[in-house]
C-alpha cells in the first residue's frame, strides 16, 4: 500500500514546514471533533498529515484532548504510520532537558479519558504488550540523530492525568517503579492507534526533571516552553527526514500493528450493535 505519515505535534510543535500542496482540511469523525483541522500535503513524494494535539494556540488541556477523534481522523485520511511528539519530564539523571527519547513502554495512570473505540455492542481486545512499533521507532530515532538531536532509545513513559504536575512523592514513586519519563498525553493515544491498526511511535522531548531532582527546582511552564523553543527546530527537521526513510510504498508491518484486529473482536456478528459498527467504519472497516 501507499505510505502516509501522520504527525501528532505536542507542546511547542504546531506545524511542519515544506509540505507541497499544503492545506488545512476539516475532518468529521463519529467520535466528535479532532483537536484541530489537519494539515495535509506531500513531502519527498510521500503523503503527510499533521495534527496539533492541543490545537493551534494550545487550546486543549491534556484531559480534554479528543484522542478518539484525532486517531480516527488520521486513519480516515489514509495514514498508515503515526509519529507522536510529546513534551515530557525526565525521571532519570542521564535524560537531561533537550534530549529526545524514543518510547517503547507505557504505564497508564490516566483515569478521565475514553480509552477505546470498542465497547458494549462490539467488544474487542487488542494485544498491547509492545505498545509502539519497533520498525517505525527505529526510523524515528535515525531521523532524530540525523537532525542533530541527542537520542535515547527504549524508555518507559508514565502517563498521568494532569493538568497539575507531579507531587514530590509521586515523582519518587514513579522512579522506584523503574519509569524513565512522565507526561500527560501518551495515553490513551497509543492504545487507540493500536485499535485503529496504525503503526505508532512516540518521540519524547525532555523539557525538565519533573520535581524529584535535588539539584533542580520544581518544573514550571516557563521552563517547559523555553526548552521546547530550543527543540522546535530539531523537531521540524527530523519530521522532514521521515519520508525518505519510510518511502512511498509500505509492506506489512513485521510486528503486526496493521493487523491488530485480526483476532481481537469477541462479539458474535449477529449480536453487534449497528450504531457502533457505523462509527467504526474507518477504524475497523477492514475486519468488519
Task: Report helix, strand and coil shares of the chain as percent, to nearest 5.
Answer: 30, 25, 45
Residue 170 lies in a domain: yes
Question: Could you give the percent of the chain with pLDDT greater than 70?
Answer: 97
Residue 270 lies in a domain: yes
25-72 residue pLDDT tens: 999 999 999 999 999 999 999 999 999 999 998 899 999 999 999 999
Cβ 106 vs Cβ 30: under 8 Å: no
Distance of alpha carbon 76 from alpha carbon 114, whole angstroms: 19
- Report pTM: 0.95
225-259 residue pLDDT tens: 777 777 788 888 999 999 999 999 999 999 999 99
Cβ 198 vs Cβ 282: under 8 Å: no
| Residue with the larger pLDDT of the pair 136 and 219 | 136
Query: What domain count does the chain have?
Result: 1
| Residue with the larger pLDDT of the pair 218 and 200 | 200
**What confidence score (pLDDT) does residue 31 get?**
98
- Listed in sequence order, the residues at least 6 apart from 17 whose beta carbon sits closer than 8 Å to its beta carbon are 236, 240
**What confidence score (pLDDT) does residue 13 get?**
65
Residue 20 lies in a domain: no
**What confidence score (pLDDT) does residue 222 get?**
72
Q: Assign 115 a pLDDT band (cuts: 50, 70, 90).
A: very high
Top mean pLDDT of 2-16, 176-190, 207-221 is at 176-190
Sequence-ordered alpha helix ranges (H) in 37-167: 67-77, 134-146
Q: Which residues of 228-242 are buried (b: 16+ CB within 10 A; e: fewer)?
A: beebeebbbbbbbbb
Region 102-128: mean pLDDT is 98
Structural domain containing residue 251:
85-284
Dihedral over Cα of 26, 28, 31, 32: its sign? positive
Per the structure block, which three cell numbers stand in for 29?
A: 469523525
Residue 157 lies in a domain: yes
Sequence-ordered alpha helix ranges (H) in the chain: 67-77, 134-146, 168-176, 189-195, 221-246, 274-279, 281-284
Residue 86 annotated as part of some ligand binding site: yes
CA dihedral 176, 177, 179, 182 (to 10 degrees): -80
Residue 217 has pLDDT above 90, yes or no: no
Per the structure block, which three cell numbers stand in for 223?
A: 521552563
15-31 residue pLDDT tens: 677 889 999 999 999 99
**DSSP strand pairing (100-103 vs 151-153):** parallel
Q: Assign 197 a pLDDT band (cuts: 50, 70, 90).
A: very high
Q: Assign 7 a pLDDT band (cuts: 50, 70, 90).
A: very high
Question: Could you give the percent of the chain with pLDDT greater than 90?
Answer: 85
Residue 69 annotated as part of some ligand binding site: no
Per the structure block, which three cell numbers stand in for 152?
A: 535515547
Residue 61 annotated as part of some ligand binding site: no
Region 70-77: mean pLDDT is 98
Residue 228 annotated as part of some ligand binding site: no
Q: Assign 203 a pLDDT band (cuts: 50, 70, 90).
A: very high
Residue 129 has pLDDT above 70, yes or no: yes
Q: DSSP state, 163?
A: S
Q: Residue 182 is part of a domain; what is its CATH number?
A: 3.40.50.1580
Residue 35 annotated as part of some ligand binding site: no
Active-site residue set: 208, 210
Residue 210 annotated as part of some ligand binding site: yes
Residue 208 annotated as part of some ligand binding site: yes
Residue 166 annotated as part of some ligand binding site: no
Q: How far is CA 216 from CA 32, 42, 90, 102, in A?
A: 41, 42, 12, 24
Average pLDDT over the chain reads 94
Residue 241 lies in a domain: yes
Region 83-109: mean pLDDT is 96
Residue 165 annotated as part of some ligand binding site: no
Cβ 217 vs Cβ 165: under 8 Å: no
**DSSP strand pairing (181-183 vs 156-159):** parallel
Residue 132 lies in a domain: yes
Residue 22 lies in a domain: no
Residue 31 lies in a domain: no
Task: Name which of 7-16, 59-68, 96-105, 262-271 the model is least confident about.
Answer: 7-16
Amino acid at each position: 500500500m501507499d505510505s502516509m505519515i501522520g504527525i501528532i505535534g505536542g507542546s511547542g510543535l504546531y506545524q511542519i514546514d515544506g509540505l507541497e500542496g499544503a492545506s488545512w482540511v476539516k475532518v468529521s469523525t463519529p467520535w466528535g471533533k479532532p483537536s484541530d483541522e489537519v494539515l495535509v500535503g506531500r513531502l519527498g513524494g510521500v503523503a503527510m498529515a499533521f495534527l496539533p494535539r492541543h490545537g493551534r494556540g494550545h487550546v486543549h488541556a491534556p484531559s480534554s484532548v479528543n484522542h478518539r477523534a484525532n486517531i480516527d481522523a488520521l486513519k480516515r485520511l489514509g495514514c498508515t504510520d503515526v509519529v507522536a511528539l510529546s513534551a515530557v519530564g525526565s525521571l532519570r539523571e542521564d535524560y537531561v532537558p533537550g534530549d529526545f527519547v524514543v518510547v517503547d513502554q507505557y504505564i497508564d495512570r490516566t483515569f478521565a479519558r475514553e480509552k477505546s473505540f470498542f465497547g458494549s455492542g462490539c467488544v474487542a481486545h487488542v494485544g498491547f504488550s509492545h505498545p509502539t512499533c519497533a520498525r517505525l521507532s527505529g526510523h524515528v530515532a535515525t531521523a532524530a540523530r540525523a537532525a542533530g538531536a541527542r537520542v535515547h532509545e527504549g524508555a518507559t513513559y508514565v502517563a498521568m492525568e494532569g493538568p497539575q504536575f507531579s507531587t514530590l512523592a509521586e515523582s519518587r514513586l514513579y522512579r522506584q517503579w523503574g519509569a524513565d519519563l512522565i507526561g500527560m498525553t501518551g495515553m490513551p493515544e497509543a492504545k487507540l492507534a493500536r485499535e485503529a491498526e496504525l503503526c505508532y511511535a512516540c518521540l519524547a522531548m525532555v523539557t525538565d526533571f519533573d520535581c524529584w531532582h535535588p539539584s533542580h527546582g520544581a518544573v514550571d511552564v516557563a521552563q517547559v516552553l523555553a526548552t521546547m523553543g530550543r527543540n522546535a527546530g530539531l523537531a521540524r527537521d527530523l519530521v522532514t527526514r521521515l519520508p525518505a526513510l519510510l518511502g512511498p510504498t509500505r509492506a506489512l508491518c513485521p510486528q503486526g500493528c496493521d493487523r491488530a484486529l485480526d483476532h481481537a473482536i469477541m462479539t458474535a456478528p449477529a449480536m453487534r450493535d449497528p450504531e457502533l459498527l457505523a462509527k467504526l467504519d474507518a477504524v475497523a472497516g477492514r475486519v468488519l
